[in-house]
């Protein structure tokens, strides 16, 4: 471990309490100046380290993203390599740049904040500082491009299971891959893949997962309030929450990814799909919509619907909404 990693670990172990510079220096056999220099380097990364004379140093937040905090909780054999940044435009965009510059499969980029977080269908994803988990995973799956959508489904199921384990509450999946709690969207997934023209196979895929963990200070912007919610209220004081959630999601995701032939994900997906049996509207790109009934999800994660004229149809992708109940 480097001095940086050791000092970070010691600050995290202290759970928000002060640790004196002298103690750190003695413990790691370095000078107090070296400790100070390392703390300053940490501050230039994502970490808010408070320094008070005669008391020492402490991590101002008890929920700081860190590669060490994630790696220490991971159980999978899949070689994930977390990288944490304070602020990026979009973890998907930056990870694609890192991939072009040679980043390896398993690189996971996490950020405390995104200034240009992106969602499906060209939408933006609201990503304020410290209130969500914004994470992208780089994969080189050598699969047919038609399987890219599966990666999104695996990520949705992995996130659903992880949130349920942490909260003890149910998570619903709204086709295609949005996660809901108590009627509000708490998580979305954006997978972006590129194909090799030579082999006709996927060259790389970036799976981006955004979870709204806490209500941001002042709440969500008015235009999002009726749609978007958070897994916890603003006051969730849990320590190391995001590292724990990231590790749980990555473990579940790796399990699905490494065992794709068994497709364990399907059952988990179907059990949580709350549209089945409900009256929906199929939303078209031109803004119009058609009424339908959601019947089922087939093995390719297509939504099986009955249209108003009684015919059955399969939806591959797109957007649907739950139709408000008509008063009797």
* Residues engaged in binding ligand BTN (CB under 6 A): 90-92, 114, 117-120, 123, 125, 134-136, 178, 188-190, 208-210
Nearer to ligand BTN, 115 or 262 (CB): 115
Residue nearest to ligand BTN (CB): 188
| Longest CA–CA separation in the chain, Å | 78
| Choice between 42 and 249, CB closer to ligand BTN | 249
The distance of closest approach from Cβ of residue 88 to ligand BTN in the complex, given in angstroms and rounded to an integer, is 8
Q: How many residues does the chain have?
A: 328
CB of 249 to ligand BTN, least distance (A): 12
Name the minimum Å distance from CB 116 to ligand BTN.
7
- Nearer residue to ligand BTN within complex by CB, 90 or 273: 90
Q: Is 160 exposed, middle or buried (0-12, 13-18, 19+ CB in 10 A)?
A: buried
- Which C-beta is closer to ligand BTN: that of 66 or that of 152? 152
Q: How far is the CB of 144 from ligand BTN (least distance, A)?
A: 23
Q: How far apart are CA 221 and CA 228, in angstroms?
A: 10
- Residue 154, burial from CB neighbour count under 10 angstroms (0-12, 13-18, 19+): buried
CB of 128 to ligand BTN, least distance (A): 12
For residue 182, give every residue at least 6 positions away whose Cβ sits within 8 Å of its Cβ, in sequence order, or none.
229
CA distance linking residue 103 with residue 2, whole number of Å: 21
What is the closest distance, in whole angstroms, from the C-beta atom of residue 242 to ligand BTN in the complex? 13
The distance in angstroms from the start CA to the end CA of the chain is 67
Residue number with CB closer to ligand BTN (47 or 134): 134
C-beta closer to ligand BTN: residue 35 or 178: 178
Q: Give the start-end residues of each E strand in the chain.
A: 49-52, 56-59, 81-88, 107-114, 132-139, 172-174, 178-181, 184-195, 202-212, 279-283, 289-297, 303-307, 312-315, 319-322
For residue 243, give the DSSP letter: H
């Amino acid at each position: 471990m480097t001095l940086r990693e050791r000092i970070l670990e010691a600050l995290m172990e202290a759970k928000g309490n002060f640790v004196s510079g002298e103690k750190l220096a003695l413990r790691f056999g370095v000078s107090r100046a070296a400790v100070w220099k390392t703390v300053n380097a940490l501050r230039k990364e994502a970490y808010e380290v408070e320094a008070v004379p005669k008391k020492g140093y402490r991590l101002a937040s008890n929920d700081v993203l860190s590669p060490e905090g994630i790696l220490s909780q991971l159980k999978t054999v899949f070689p994930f390599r977390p990288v944490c940044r304070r602020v990026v435009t979009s973890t998907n965009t930056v990870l694609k740049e890192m991939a072009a510059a040679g980043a390896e499969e398993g690189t996971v980029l996490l950020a405390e904040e995104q200034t240009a977080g992106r969602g499906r269908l060209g939408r933006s994803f609201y990503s304020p500082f410290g209130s969500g988990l914004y994470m992208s995973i780089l994969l080189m799956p050598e699969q047919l491009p038609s399987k890219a959508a599966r990666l999104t489904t695996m990520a949705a199921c992995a996130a659903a299971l992880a949130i349920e384990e942490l909260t003890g509450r149910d998570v619903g999946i709204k086709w295609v891959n949005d996660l809901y709690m108590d009627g509000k969207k708490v998580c979305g997934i954006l997978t972006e893949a590129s194909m090799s023209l030579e082999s006709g196979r996927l060259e790389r895929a970036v799976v981006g997962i955004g979870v709204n963990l806490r209500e941001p200070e002042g709440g969500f912007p008015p235009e999002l309030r009726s749609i978007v919610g958070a897994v916890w209220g603003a006051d969730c004081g849990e320590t190391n929450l995001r590292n724990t959630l990231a590790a749980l999601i990555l473990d579940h995701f790796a399990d699905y990814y490494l065992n794709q032939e068994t497709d364990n994900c399907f059952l988990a997906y179907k059990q949580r799909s709350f549209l089945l049996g409900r009256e929906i509207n199929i939303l078209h790109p031109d803004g119009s919509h058609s009424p339908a009934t959601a019947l089922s999800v087939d093995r390719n994660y297509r939504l099986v619907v009955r249209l108003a004229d009684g015919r059955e149809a399969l939806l591959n992708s797109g957007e649907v909404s739950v139709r408000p109940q008509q008063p009797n």
